[in-house]
Every structure is written in structure tokens, then in C-alpha cells.
Structure 1
Amino acid sequence: MVTPSYDTERFWTIPNVLSILRLLGVPVFLWLILALHADLWAVVVLALAGLTDWLDGQIARRFHQISRAGQLLDPAADRLYILATLIALMMRGAIPMWLLVVLVARDVVIAGLVPLLRTRGYSSLPVHFVGKAATFCLLYSFPLILLGHLTEGGWTVARILGWALAIWGTVLYWWAGLLYCYQTWRMVTSTPARSQLRSTGPTEGTDR
């Protein structure tokens, strides 16, 4: 069975610490934007989230710190951040309901693939470049959209650029989702189910 490649079994790596910091920033952001209405500080937290998302990937690849835990932690942190930010911005009136529905629907589709993957011995799919590009666009769109929402007139450049990134990010997010669906279909049709593996023994080309 082919599994995502990784360099280390260690949990405490710099990329994983950055992902954890991104997760810890979620309640801080929600507190700032919903409780305090400290929008400028909320923008700073969002910008730092986007920066850490870029940095952890760069550091992991350059210094060979791709870990098994990181392959699960990084996308989980990204999805939680995106969901929390969407809900908060919708509650503040910065984004419409349809954007939240479209992006959450994609994650629901991906979550539905997990039971199929587990029947073939997989716990998750490797992160695709298109998925990372989508996350990058979305994470960078949110602080710009919020900046454009700060004043009555809005910051025109920030608002336009933020929505351009949000729309591109949404398209790429669904494109990546369809690619994951295709990958799952390929795995399901080409890999024996776990019950078959237990009854017939190990099959050539698998590692479980």
C-alpha cells in the first residue's frame, strides 16, 4: 500500500509547533473579532495564520521535517481556521452566507471519503498542491476582506483583492476536493478491502 512519505516520526518539530500556534490562534481571533470588536488586531492574527501556514510547509520541505503527525495536523489546523474565520466574518456581516455554505459543503464531501479510505487501510489522503494553493488564497483573503469591512467606505484595494483571492480560493478548494474524490476512487478500485487482506494474507505491493 502506498502511504504519504515523511521524514521523521518526531512530533515536536518546528512545522508542527507552527501548526499548533495556528490552532491556538483560533480562539484568540474569535475573542478579538466577536467579543472585543478589535478588528485591527483580528487582522493581525489572520495575517500571522497565513504566514505560519506558508512557513511550516517551507521549513518542513527544506529541512526534511515532514512528519506523520504534521501531515494530519497541518490540514486540520487549516480547515479549523477557515471554518472559524468564515463563521466569525459572517456574523460580523463581512461575508455572505453562501460563501460559508459552499466551503463547508466541500469539507462535508471530503469527510464522507474517510470511511471509504479506512476500508482500504488509509487514514487520510496526501495533501495536494491544488489544496495548498486553495488554502493559501483563502487564508490571505480573510484579513483583506476584513480590512475592506473596517470602515463604512471600506478599503477599496483590500476589498477587491480579498474577494479575488476568496473566489479563486473557493474554486481551487472545490477543484482539490474533486481531485481527492478521484484519488479515493482510484484507491478503492485498485486496493483490496481490509477484510480481503486478512483472509488472503499480504498482497504484493502493499505494506500492511
Structure 2
Amino acid sequence: MTSPAADKHDWATIPNAITVLRFLLVVPICYYLLTDSAPVATAFLLLAFGLSDWIDGFIARKFNQVSHVGVLLDPIADRLGIVAIAVCLVFGGLVPLWIGLAIFVTDLFLLCTYFALRLSAPPESSKLGKIRTAIMMLGLAAVAFGRIEELFWLFTPGLYILGIGAILHLFVGARYLRLMAHTAKILRQPAG
């Protein structure tokens, strides 16, 4: 059993610090996308954003630093970060509106459902959800690197990859909605 002091500092872990850093990276990424400036810096910041998602999960599992705060914070940072970046890509005229809408509307609906059902934790990430996130991160990175003049050829494949990720996002979102509804139904059943 953990002590109350240990529970009090459950949030103070390296993976949680990386998650917060990942979320903070969204600010300069969005600024550069909206102002159509610093394509090299944007690309490398986006790469760091994507890699940090894998790194914080690896450290949390490898060094037993999984925390309740991290379980809540990590998917929120991922989703809010990807939504913000996708919206900025749309406003910057770099990706089609449907991609931004697919990502934004799905995540908004999931977030509202999560809070409406008053769940204690988001649904656990599925294998398809992890694949979807990897595809979206790859697409975002390819689009960002495609803004660099010498790497322009990455831009169009990046759009297609991001489009595939957005379509997968709709399917994964529908699955997470069903999981949340099922969890809420179980929690509301009377005991005994």
C-alpha cells in the first residue's frame, strides 16, 4: 500500500513532465503554422511532439512511473495537441477542411461525452487507436517537413497519410464512444 505522501506526489514523474512539455510545444508549432514561418523549426518541433508521446509512455512503463495523473493527462495532451495543430494547418491553408473537421468534431464529441458521463478515466488506448495516432503523427510530420523547400515532395504524401489518419480517427472515436457508454452503464447498475 502506498503512503498518503506518495499519493500526494503521484503527479511528479518524468513521463508527466514530458507530457507537459509536449503540450507546451503546441504553442510555437501553432504560431509558426498560422504565420507561415520557420518551416524547419516547425518540422522539428512537430517531430519532437510526436516522439515525446512514445518516449513518455516507454519511460512510464519501463520505470514503473505510471500515475493516475499521467493516465488522464497523456491522452488529453495528445488529443488537444493534435486538434490544435490540425486546426492551424486548416487555417494556414495547408490541409483540407474535412481533415480538420474530422479530427476536431470527433475529439470534441468524445470530450463532451467523457465529462457528461462523469467517468473517472478515459478509455484505455486500443491497438487501432495507437496505430491511428502514429499515422496522424507521421502525416503531420510529413506535411510539416514538406513545407521545407528541399523536402517539398513530402507534402502531398503527408496529406494522404493525414487523411487516412483522420478517417481512422472517426472509426476509433466511434469505438471509444461505445466503450464510454458501456462503462457508464456498468457503473450505474445497482450493486448486488
User: Same fold by TM (over 0.5)?
Assistant: yes
* Equivalent residue, structure 2, for 1:132: 130
Partner residue of 1:177 out of 168, 173, 180: 173
1:1-208 alignment, distance < 5 Å: 10-35=10-35, 37-118=37-118, 122-151=120-149, 155-156=152-153, 158-192=154-188, 203=191
CA-to-partner distance for each residue in 1:95-143, whole Å, 9 max, x for gaps?
A: 011111111111122123224532xx53432333322322222122112
CA drift at 1:67: 0.8
Higher helix share: 2
CA drift at 1:30: 2.3
CA separation in 2, counterparts of 1:56 and 1:106?
25
Identity percentage of aligned residues: 27
State the aligned residue count.
Answer: 185
In our comparison, the structure showing a higher alpha carbon Rg is 1
Runs of 5+ unmatched residues, structure 2: 1-6
Is the 8 Å Cα contact of residues 43 and 145 (structure 2) preserved in structure 1?
yes
Greater RCO, 1 or 2 (C-alpha within 8 Å, sep 6+): 1
User: Which range moves more in the overlay, 46-55 or 172-181?
Assistant: 172-181
- Cα 1:33–1:177, aligned 2, differ >3 Å: closer, same or farther? closer
CA drift at 1:188: 3.2
Q: Look up the equivalent residue of 1:106 and give its one-letter code.
A: T
Q: Look up the equivalent residue of 1:183 and give its one-letter code.
A: L
CA separation in 2, counterparts of 1:20 and 1:116?
25
